[in-house]
Chains A and B, each alone.
Chain A
Amino acid sequence: MPRYTPPEQSKAGQIFDIAVVVVAIFVALWLPLKMGLAGAAKSIDALDAKTWEALGQNPTMAAIWEKLGYTPETAHDVIQNRFHYVIDWPTLIIMAAVLIGYFVFLFRASDREYRDVINEKFDDK
C-alpha cells in the first residue's frame, strides 16, 4: 500500500479550522444556555400554610433551618421547589436514537480510518 502523504495546510487554513472548532464549542455549550434549554426541570409546589409543620420539617430540622438564617416563609421556596419526574417518551426515544446513532457512526467511521492506519503501519515492514 503506498504511503499516504497528507497535504500541507496553509496558515489561513489552520486559522479557519481553529475558528470552526471554537465556534462549534461555543454553539454547543452556549446555545442551550441562551435558549433556556439548560438547567433542571424544577417547579415550586406552593403551600398556603407556611409553617415548619406544613413544610414537613420536624423540630430538629426547623432549628437547623433557623440556624442557617431561614424562616418558614423564606424556606418555603427552597423546600417546595421539586423535580417532577415525568418520562417524556418521545424525547427519551430521540435521545436514545441520537446517542446510539452517534456511537454507531463513531465506531464504524473510526474502524475505516483504523484500517488505513494499520495497513500503512504494518505494510511498511
Chain B
Amino acid sequence: MTITLEPAIHGDRVSLLRVLGPAHVWALGVGIVLVGEFTGWNFSADKGGALAALIVCWIVGLLYTSVAMIDSEVTSTVAAAGGQYAQAKHIVGPLMAFNVALFLVFAYTMLEVSDAILLGDTIVAKAGVDGLTHNSFIAATIVVLAWLNYRGVLMTLNVNFVITAIAYISIVILFFSVSPWTQGAVLKLNELVTPGNALPYGWIGVIAAFQFGIWYYLGIEGTTQAAEEVRSPARSLPYGTMAGMITLLIAAAMTWYVCASLMPWEYLGITYYPLWDAGKLTGSPLLENLLFVATLLAALASANGCINDAARAWFSLGRDRYLPSWFSAVHPRYRTPYRSILFLLPIALAFAFIADLNQAITFSILSGVLQYTFMSINIMMFRKKWPLGTIRRGYTHPFHPLPAIVLFCLCVVTFFAIFLGFGSQLIAMTIFYFLISVWFHFYRYKFVRRGDQFTMPWPKPQGY
C-alpha cells in the first residue's frame, strides 16, 4: 500500500521539498550509523572483552531491529519533518514531543561532534607531524558540512549516498582480503580470543558493554527525519530503514570478526580507529590507505546526516512554537531549515573543542536510549488509540507487542550499562531533561496553539 502525500504546506510559508527516494533514506540512515563500525563499537570490548562486543552486537542488533520495525509503522503513517517528534506530538502530547526533539538534537549534535573529532584525530594520526592538532580539521568539517546542508537536502544526501557506499565497500573489501574462511594466515581469532580472556569481567562486563554496543547502530532511526521530504513516505521509509538495518547488521558482524581476529581486546577497546588499525595489521599498504580514507568518509557521511537530522528536529520545534518561531524559517531559495542549521553550528563547534571522543559518544548514546524508551511506549499507545483498521497505515509491523517489549527491556539493560561507569552523566542529563520539561509545561506551552498540534486526518483517539 502506498500513500503519496501532498507537499507539506504550513500556512503561506515556503515548505520543504519532496525530492527524496528510498536510496536517499538508506544513505541518510546508514550514512549516520556506519561511522560506528569505524570507531565507537570497539569501546564495548573495553567494557566487557571481545566476546562481549560480539554478544552485544547481536543483542543490540535485536534492539535496533525492533526500533526499525516500530519506526517504520509509525512514521509511514505520521509522515512529517521531525520524525519521532511528530509521532510524539500526535500520539503522546506536546511535552513528550518537546523532549523527543531535544533527544534527537542532542543525540545527533553529539554524534556530529564525535564524527568531527574522529576525522580530526585520524588526519593528525596519519600526518604524524609534531604540533599538529585536530582543531582546524574539526572546525573545517563542521562548517563545510553545515554549508552543504544549508545549500539543499538533495545535494546533501546525494553526497552521503556516494561516500557511504564507498565506506561500506571498504569494509567488504577488507573482509574478503583477509581470507575470512581460514584462520592462522592473517586472522588469528583462536589465539586472540581465548577462553581465559573472552569475557574478562564475566557477565557483568557483557551488560556493561551494552553502552557502546549501541554505537554499532545508533542513528538508524534518523531516516524518519526525512519523512516530509521523501516522495512516497509509506514506501520509501520502511524500505530504506529496513535495508539500512540489514546493511548494518552485516557490516557489524564483518567488522567484529576482522578486528577481533587481528588485535588483542585490550588494544581493540581503546583504539579510536579499529578498522584503520585492522588495515595496518594486515600488512597491506593498499588496505591501510583504503581504510584510512574510508574512516574519513564514514565520519563525513555521519556528520552530514546528523546536521540534516538535528536541524529538522530543531526546525519542527520552532514551527510548532515549542521554541521561538524564528527557527521555523525555510530558506526561500534552497528550501532548507537554514536558521536551525546555523543555530546548531556553534553548539557543535563548542562541544567539539571541550569534549573528548568517548564523552561525546556517551552524551549521544544517553539521548538515544531515552528516545528508544519513549518509542517502546509510544507504539503501545499508538496501537491502543488507533487499533488496526481504524486508520490507514503505510506499513504494519508484525509480532506486536513483542518488538516493543524487547525494546523496552533492552533499554532498561542499557541504562544499567551506562550506570556502570557513566552513571553521573546519566543522572545529570535526566535532571536537565526534567528541568527543561518543567520550564516547557509551566511556561513555554502557553505560546502553543493547541488544536494545531494535531494535523493528521485521523479520527479522535480512543479513550479521549
Contacts and interface: CB of A to CB of B under 8 A. Distances in A.
A100 to B, nearest CB: 10
Contacts of B415: 95, 99
Nearest to B196: A56
Interface string B193-211: 0101100110011001000
Interface SS majority for chain A: helix
Given A18-B323, A85-B201, A117-B93, A95 B270 contact: no
A85 B211 CA distance: 14
B434 A101 contact: yes
- Most-contacted residue by chain A among B46, B262, B267, B277 (CB, 10 A): B267
Interface string B46-57: 110000000000
A118 B464 contact: yes
Contacts of A119: 450
A6 B449 contact: yes
A67 B359 contact: no
Contacts, number: 200
B424 A32 contact: yes
Contact of A28 (B92, B428, B451): B428
Given A37-B428, A64-B263, A113-B94, A120 B451 contact: yes
Interface string A68-92: 1010000100110111010110011
Contact of B427 (A33, A85, A94, A120): A94
Contacts of A44: none
Given A6-B321, A60-B188, A92-B419, A28 B434 contact: no
A60 B280 CA distance: 16
Name the interface size band of chain B. Answer: 35 or more
Contacts of A114: 92-94, 464
B423 A91 contact: yes
Nearest to B94: A113
Nearest to B459: A122
A110 B438 CA distance: 11
Interface string B430-449: 11111111110100111111
Given A38-B422, A40-B421, 8 more contacts: A3-B450, A7-B446, A30-B354, A78-B266, A95-B419, A110-B95, A116-B450, A117-B93
30 contacts: A3-B450, A4-B449, A14-B326, A15-B324, A20-B439, A26-B350, A29-B355, A29-B429, A38-B362, A38-B424, A38-B425, A40-B47, A40-B421, A58-B194, A64-B262, A82-B200, A83-B208, A85-B420, A91-B427, A92-B416, A94-B427, A102-B430, A106-B437, A107-B96, A110-B96, A111-B92, A111-B93, A112-B93, A118-B461, A121-B451
Interface of B: 46-47, 88, 92-97, 99, 106, 110, 188, 191-192, 194, 196-197, 200-201, 204-205, 208, 262-264, 266-267, 270, 277, 281, 321, 323-326, 347, 350-351, 354-355, 358-359, 362-363, 373, 377, 415-416, 419-439, 441, 444-451, 453-454, 460-461, 464
